[in-house]
Structures are given as structure tokens and as C-alpha cells.
Amino acid sequence: MKGIPAAALLALGLTGCSVYRDATATRPPAGWSWRKVMTEADADRIRSWRRAWDDALAPAKAAAPAAIAAEPDLFDPDRALSAGMPPAGEYRCRTFKLGSQQPLTPYFAAYPAGRCRITVQGQETHFVRVDGEQRPNGLIYTNTDARPMFIGVMVLGDETAPLRYGVDQTRDMIGYVERIGEARWRLVLPYPGFESKLDVIELTPAG
């Protein structure tokens, strides 16, 4: 599914709030596979997941060796256990950014824990970061037992609704979910649109 770039919307005269209003809302049709939903740009990103780890992990280790060493399972590219789909519920989530897209961006950043939520409606498993300035929002798709896929968008600041996937490539997100321990998962996002070369979001049940 290929979305309409934001620049094209602007060319049609949709500016300011109207762009945001017209570009939000709908989800992909129920029952579509993640391969049918993803854009061509995101297909390239997910094909390069191993290269993203290679590009991001080495400089992160050099910048913050103790932090990386303290989480061997979280930062092991090949750590993936069976039953990768996390159940519905409230989660405590921590975001780590590895590697850098820009000279002034640090090679490793760890953010305070926040709130995430997974809900299931029919065939859809929905993941959302509830709080914070950067809030991934999207669907987790059945794939292999060990690696469900995630496709969504980044919601920023005081925005109240996510952009429709495919409207803005810098907001589009693709990644995969893996279980890395007892009641512990991670969402891995290769080459996100902002700051890092790899984002890793740790998920553990809240409470």
C-alpha cells in the first residue's frame, strides 16, 4: 500500500490543520498481511534489519559500554525465543536509541520508562505508547512464532491522532517483536525516521 506523501497533500492545497485532519484516521483493511501493508521504503528498511544492528551497535558499545553490557539479552541481535507475540495488557516500556544519523546525535541514548498498551480487537493487535513526546502507534502482525511484525507511525508532542501510515515516510515505522526472556519482549525498529539508526523498545508487563 503506497500512501500520499505530505508534500503532495500540500500541493493539493491542504495546509496546516487540514493536512493533519485529512491524513489521520484509517487503518489498513482487516486481514491484510504486513507484506501487503508496508510501503516500498519500509520494505527496504526491514530487509536491512541486520545491517541496522551492525551500523548501530558498535558505536553504541563504544559510547556506552557499561549500559550495553548491562543488558546482554536486550542488545543481542539474535536473541529470540518462541511465543514472540506479547499478550494484550498494560506494559512498562523503555526506549533505547543506538547509532546516530547526525553528527550531534549521541550514539547511545536511554529514555525513562513509560506506559505502553497492547489491545486485541478481532484480527488486529494494536500497540501504542501512551505517554511521552515520541509515541509509536500501530499494528502487530502475525508472522513467524518468534518474530511478529510491527507497522505503524510515530505520533509526536501534543498530536491527538496518528497520521495514516504511508503519508509521511519520516513518521512511518516498521520493525519486529521478539520475546527475549520470561515476560519480556522488545520491539526493534531499524533505521527510524528520527535521530538513531536503530530503536529498541523493551516491554515488560506493568505492575
Give the model's pLDDT for residue 102. 86
The per-residue pLDDT for range 151-204, each reduced to its tens digit, is 999 999 999 888 999 999 999 999 999 999 999 999 999 999 989 999 999 999
Q: pLDDT of 50-66, one tens digit each? A: 999 999 999 999 999 99
Q: What is the pLDDT of residue 24?
A: 60
195: nearest Cα among 39, 20, 56, 43: 56
Question: Does this model's pTM top 0.95?
Answer: no
Nine cell digits for residue 190? 531499524
* Rounded average pLDDT over 26-35: 78
| Nearest by Cα to 77 from 98, 96, 49 | 49
Residue with cell 494484550: 88
Mean pLDDT of 34-56: 97
Q: 46 with 190: CB under 8 angstroms?
A: yes
Contact status, residue 77 vs residue 180, Cβ threshold 8 Å: no
pLDDT at 194: 86
Give me the chain's average pLDDT, please. Answer: 88
Q: What is the pLDDT of residue 15?
A: 43
Which amino acid type is present at position 13?
G
Q: How many helices (H) and strands (E) does the chain have?
A: 6, 9
Q: H helices of the chain, where?
A: 6-11, 17-22, 34-37, 40-47, 49-63, 65-69
Mean pLDDT of 58-78: 98
Whether 100 contacts 59, CB under 8 Å: yes
| Rounded distance between C-alpha atoms, residue 81 and residue 95, angstroms | 20
Tell me the pLDDT tens digit for each residue of 130-150. Answer: 998 999 999 999 999 999 999
